[in-house]
A = this chain, B = another copy of it.
Amino acid sequence: MKLNHNGVTEAKGFYACGRYTGLKNKRRDLAIVYSEVPAKFAGVFTTNRVKAAPVIRNISLREKGCDIQAIVINSGNANACTGAQGILNNQEMAETTAKVFNINANSVLTASTGVIGVQLPIKTIIEGIEKSHKFLSDDRQGAIDASAAIMTTDTVPKEVSAQFIIDDKVINIGGMAKGSGMIHPNMATMLTFITTDLNISRDLLQKALSSSTETSYNMISVDGDTSTNDMVCVLANGLAGNSEITEENSDYIKFKEVLDTINKELAMMIVKDGEGATKLLEVIVSGAKTDNDAKLMCKSILTSSLVKTAFFGEDANWGRIMCAIGYSGAELDPSTVSLRLQSRYGSIRLLENGVPLNFNEEIASEILKAYTIDIIVDLLDGEGQSKGWGCDMSYEYVRINGDYRS
């Protein structure tokens, strides 16, 4: 399977647009995705106790098992921590969208991203929706504009697509994501929307998505916890014409593999576009007692400010990695830990079974000049393994976040 960088209009029967309505300064801020027929809908949402209004509503639509025909997304305002008024504004956003398409409001998903705690300028949004839907298109431009309209501090739009064959039918899948601060879990910033013309049951679509997020988005998050607005939604409208996938057969597995690839690619794009990031860190833990122990170590390393700043400084200060492993909550015996750094410029062993090795600082420094750096942790404790991605922490991170609202 070859990945392309088309987006949400790649699959049959999906339209999109992205427009400037005035929520953000001179940039597109409203996106609509529309399917010409109702689509099966699966979603994964933030576990934060403080949930944005659109998250609360979408969860309820998923619980009701609603099919979905449109998604409306605004950037510039998260509609989170906005109380009862926020709930009403969000409902109005959905109802306006339903009205222009002449569909039921329960067929409309909503999403918002941006600053928390400010009421949506709902009139601007309503006017925007009423004007925008005329610009929907099922070609590349529609997807490009939509992926631009959902950006906040993102520096690049994020789109991925693929084709695969099931039942001799070409299946199309395409997605867009936004997120620049998901590396830290407390920004209201991670949104992914994936559309496909696959014919699949709702239960299996949800099952595939839930499992797929575990090894993609959840491995770039700080602690599995997500923000007030995070969501990953998949719409499957069935227009590819394959017979419905209703069992975990080889067709399901094929789809799941594609979905995993798409999600991992979008997750990587998010982490590469991490606020102020200058390096991509890949952590690979193996030989842990359990997969969960490996995951805990992996995330602990990726979320340590001290590890992140050391890589920004291109400093092989591996003691901080060990320290992060130690307080990760994972079961481990320090004397079984080996540690290695690796990049396109070479590989260097730093610790072997808990004993530090003498290493050449110059070689280490050369390796750390690369953009992508692998942090490889091996234990002799079992079969548990995990892989995750993160980025370094730079001056730019502080600048962006010291002054985000202005």
Contact = CB atoms under 8 A, between A and B. Distances in A.
Interface of A: 47-51, 78, 80-85, 115-119, 181, 184-188, 223, 225-228, 304-307, 309-310, 312-313, 315, 317-320, 322-327, 330, 332, 334-335, 350-351, 354-356, 393-395, 397-399, 401-406
B355 A405 contact: no
Given A80-B322, A82-B356, A84-B355, 19 more contacts: A47-B327, A49-B325, A49-B327, A50-B323, A50-B327, A81-B322, A81-B351, A118-B356, A119-B356, A184-B305, A185-B327, A186-B324, A227-B323, A309-B398, A309-B401, A313-B401, A315-B404, A315-B405, A397-B398
A84 B399 CA distance: 43
26 contacts: A47-B327, A49-B327, A49-B330, A50-B323, A84-B355, A115-B319, A116-B318, A116-B322, A117-B356, A181-B306, A184-B304, A184-B306, A187-B306, A187-B320, A187-B323, A188-B319, A223-B327, A226-B327, A305-B393, A305-B397, A306-B401, A315-B403, A317-B405, A394-B398, A395-B399, A398-B398
A117 B319 contact: yes
The dominant DSSP class at the A interface is: loop
A315 B405 CA distance: 8
A290 to B, nearest CB: 15
Contacts of A354: 81, 83
A81 B356 contact: yes
A169 B391 CA distance: 58
A393 B399 CA distance: 10
A315 B406 contact: yes
A223 B83 CA distance: 29
Copy tally for this chain in the complex stands at 2
Contacts of A313: 401-404
A188 B398 CA distance: 23
Determine which residue in A81, A350, A394 has the highest number of CB atoms from chain B within 10 A of its CB, and name it: A81
Nearest to A354: B83
A357 to B, nearest CB: 10
A309 B228 CA distance: 19
Given A319-B117, A356-B117, A49 B184 contact: no
Given A186-B320, A356-B82, A228 B326 contact: yes
Determine which residue in A115, A187, A188 has the highest number of CB atoms from chain B within 10 A of its CB, and name it: A187
A118 B354 CA distance: 12
Determine which residue in A84, A307, A393 has the highest number of CB atoms from chain B within 10 A of its CB, and name it: A393
A401 B326 contact: no
Nearest to A332: B49
Given A322-B228, A323-B227, A309 B186 contact: no
A398 to B, nearest CB: 5
Contact of A326 (B49, B115, B184): B49
A404 B310 contact: yes
Contact of A186 (B185, B304, B318): B304
Contacts of A324: 186
A293 to B, nearest CB: 11
A186 B401 CA distance: 22
Determine which residue in A226, A228, A319 has the highest number of CB atoms from chain B within 10 A of its CB, and name it: A319
A285 to B, nearest CB: 14
Contacts of A186: 304, 306-307, 320, 323-324, 327
